[in-house]
A and B are shown apart, each in its own frame.
Chain A
Amino acid sequence: MSTKFVNTLPELIQNQIISKDTALRIERYFESKEANTSNKLFVVFGVLGSLLIGSGIILLFAHNWDYLPKMIKTVLAFIPLVIGQLLVGFSIFKKKSQIWKEASGVFLFFGVGAAIALIGQIYNVPGSLKGYLLTWIALCLPLVYLLKSKVLAILHLVFATYYACLVGYFESAQIPWMYLVMLVGLLPFYYNVIKNEVASNGFSLLNWLFPLSLTITFGAFIEVSSSILYLIYILFFGLLYNIGQLPYLKILKLRQNGYLAMGSFGVVVTLLLASFYRYWSGDFNYEYYKVSSFYVPILLIILTVVILVYSYIKDSLKPFNLFRYVFVLYLIIFIVNSYYATVGLVLINFLILGLGIATVKVGVDKSHFGILNYGLLIITALISFRFFDTDMSFVIRGLLFITIGVGFFSTNYFMLKKQKSNHNKSLNN
């Protein structure tokens, strides 16, 4: 794209559209930009190389070369670790570029993992995968700070999530408290990235991986019956959404803000699931409730309220956004529901409809097709779901679907028209 543009510069100068000076500046601008991109590419290749070599070494060790004497295997175990340490030490001491730091850091990360794995294998050290993973990532967490490495932060997050899944879901059904410790260990680094490196790709990735990791592992922290499960998940996704609306994150594009996207999507999906009648009929057996049924929702509500108050102080609550208050509305519905199940159910349906309409309005206001169609999808999903548990005649269902279809076309068409007229206006001005 830029080369094509640079190639047209002589033509532009010839036709006196731009001056020679401007052409030179444009050329320099693209040159510097290209140097930057190739730099990023180097980081990606460097990290990918280390990642592959590191995991390759672990796999080679996992083969278990049983004809090698114990002594040689033990020495072998330390080699990748020591090489990784020398490389990292060199890049710190010689103040090497970030490429060096990221690549050597990733190699050392796997060096540590390989060493513990092989020693464990040689001596048949008892101990499950989860203990091994925890030792590994705890030993490598300081590297994230020493090297200021976003790739190591991402690796840390991925392995911590794996650990939490092993503890919470696969190997046992315990609460993975150490996962929270590992997560908190990463927060100062993350905060620093939010403050100083908003433009980096690593930042966008972390913005998706943090909420994703939390969403995956959240289930391991709760042990409740299904009706309160929806409440807890709506509180959880409401919290994610509100985090995404914090002043630092609000200014980001949607593709950089995983909190907002996952929070919003999570709220809608959970609400849709909770809008089925069968989930509200006779599921209120208070005997099933464990301690986590109380402290988890209370903690989530407190955190959300703190964020809302903070946003209010920072004056970032405006314009009004229904998604931010879904947790309160659902809480009210939840309480109403335990007394009048039908009323609560009707209210949930209205809440989803309200969210759909509000999203469509935001889409129209911002002239954003993605948001507009997301809003329309919410409404469509609501109506489609209601077909499963109501006895509407086929004619009415058919007509409703046609109406939504027409709605889709017309709103998109009108918005396209609006955008075109705005475009023309700005050109005329």
Chain B
Amino acid sequence: MKTIYLFILFVVLALIQLSVPATMVFNNQSVLNSGTAYKFKTRPIDPTDPFRGKYITLSFDMNKAKTTDTIWENNSDIYVYLKTDSLGYAAVKTVSPFKINTDDDFVIAQTYGYYQKSNIIKFMLPFKRFYMEESKAYPAEVAYRKASRQALVNNTYALVYVKNGYSVLEDVFINDVPIGTYVDLQKSPD
């Protein structure tokens, strides 16, 4: 009798354990399937996570905005509403400390500095980790530096899908080539 209770409790636990990664898959896949794609200009560098492997940290060009709000706290949520600029990259339409009533896509970022004189608020976009195959993360950083020296403008961007405030980073591109492939191409002697 006792065993069966124990077993039922375990089945419940097992379902909860399964539900966490399954929900992660479901939520992220839904954003990828039906979200809007934006290109965020970025610069990568490579650190390591002991469990999830090598990744590149993305530092985005889009990291500040003019604001009319004056009460900002560091490390708090900021709603960044998006538009696409003339070159097709993501740009800030407006920012707000809370959700506003509009149909525009938005992402929830973290604030890290407010400059009262210039009315500038700085923020960090949430999708700043891009996991890569372990041998490619550092070469990716090197490849980016090389590519950015050759070009006049920053031509590295992250492709991010956005839906209802959720965002999923799909891939990072250098000169419109996925960064993983770009690293492979750099390695091959052709």
B127, A93: Cβ atoms under 8 Å? no
Task: Give the residue of B10, B17, B32, B51 whose beta carbon is less than 8 angstroms from that of A58.
Answer: B51
5 A-B pairs within 8 Å (CB atoms) are namely A89-B14, A115-B21, A121-B55, A124-B170, A132-B52
**A78–B127 Cα gap in the complex (Å)?**
24
Q: Which residue from chain B places its CB closest to the CB of A93 in the assembled complex?
A: B7
Write the nearest CB–CB distance from A97 to chain B, whole angstroms: 14
Q: Which residue from chain A places its CB closest to the CB of B135 in the assembled complex?
A: A63
Q: Which residue from chain B places its CB closest to the CB of A140 in the assembled complex?
A: B17
Q: How many residues of B are counted as interface, with CB atoms below 8 angstroms from the partner's CB atoms?
A: 40
Q: Please indicate the chain A residues that have their CB under 8 angstroms from the CB of B134 in the complex.
A: 62-64
Q: Please indicate the chain B residues that have their CB under 8 angstroms from the CB of A92 in the complex.
A: 3, 6-7, 10
Q: How many residues of A are counted as interface, with CB atoms below 8 angstroms from the partner's CB atoms?
A: 41
A64, B50: Cβ atoms under 8 Å? no
Asked if B174 is at the interface (CB within 8 A of a chain A CB), the reply is no
Asked if B103 is at the interface (CB within 8 A of a chain A CB), the reply is no
Known contacts A116-B21, A124-B129; 20 additional CB pairs below 8 A are: A61-B52, A63-B53, A64-B133, A64-B134, A66-B132, A78-B22, A81-B17, A85-B18, A88-B10, A89-B11, A92-B3, A92-B7, A112-B17, A113-B51, A116-B24, A119-B24, A121-B55, A124-B168, A126-B127, A146-B10
Task: Give the residue of B6, B21, B131, B133 whose beta carbon is less than 8 angstroms from that of A124.
Answer: B131
Interface residues of B in 5-21 (CB under 8 A from A): 6-7, 9-11, 13-14, 16-18, 20-21
B7, A89: Cβ atoms under 8 Å? yes
Q: Which residue from chain B places its CB closest to the CB of A139 in the assembled complex?
A: B17
Asked if A206 is at the interface (CB within 8 A of a chain B CB), the reply is no
Asked if A367 is at the interface (CB within 8 A of a chain B CB), the reply is no
Q: Please indicate the chain B residues that have their CB under 8 angstroms from the CB of A125 in the complex.
A: 24, 28
**A58–B52 Cα gap in the complex (Å)?**
8
User: A residues near B, CB below 8 A?
Assistant: 58, 61-66, 74, 77-78, 81-82, 85, 88-89, 92-93, 95, 108, 112-113, 115-126, 129, 132, 135, 139-140, 142-143, 146
A126, B126: Cβ atoms under 8 Å? yes
Write the nearest CB–CB distance from A312 to chain B, whole angstroms: 39
Q: Interface code B127-146, partner A: CB below 8 Å = 1, 0 otherwise?
A: 11111111010000000000
Q: Which of B9, B51, B126 neighbours the largest number of chain A CB atoms within 10 Å of its CB?
A: B51
Q: Which residue from chain A places its CB closest to the CB of B3 in the assembled complex?
A: A95
Write the nearest CB–CB distance from B20 to chain A, whole angstroms: 6
B132, A143: Cβ atoms under 8 Å? no
Asked if B176 is at the interface (CB within 8 A of a chain A CB), the reply is no
A64, B51: Cβ atoms under 8 Å? no
Q: Please indicate the chain B residues that have their CB under 8 angstroms from the CB of A61 in the complex.
A: 52-53
Write the nearest CB–CB distance from A155 to chain B, whole angstroms: 14
Task: Give the residue of A62, A82, A122, A146 whose beta carbon is less than 8 angstroms from that of B6.
Answer: A146
**A78–B180 Cα gap in the complex (Å)?**
25
Q: Interface code B106-144, partner A: CB below 8 Å = 1, 0 otherwise?
A: 000000000000000000001111111110100000000
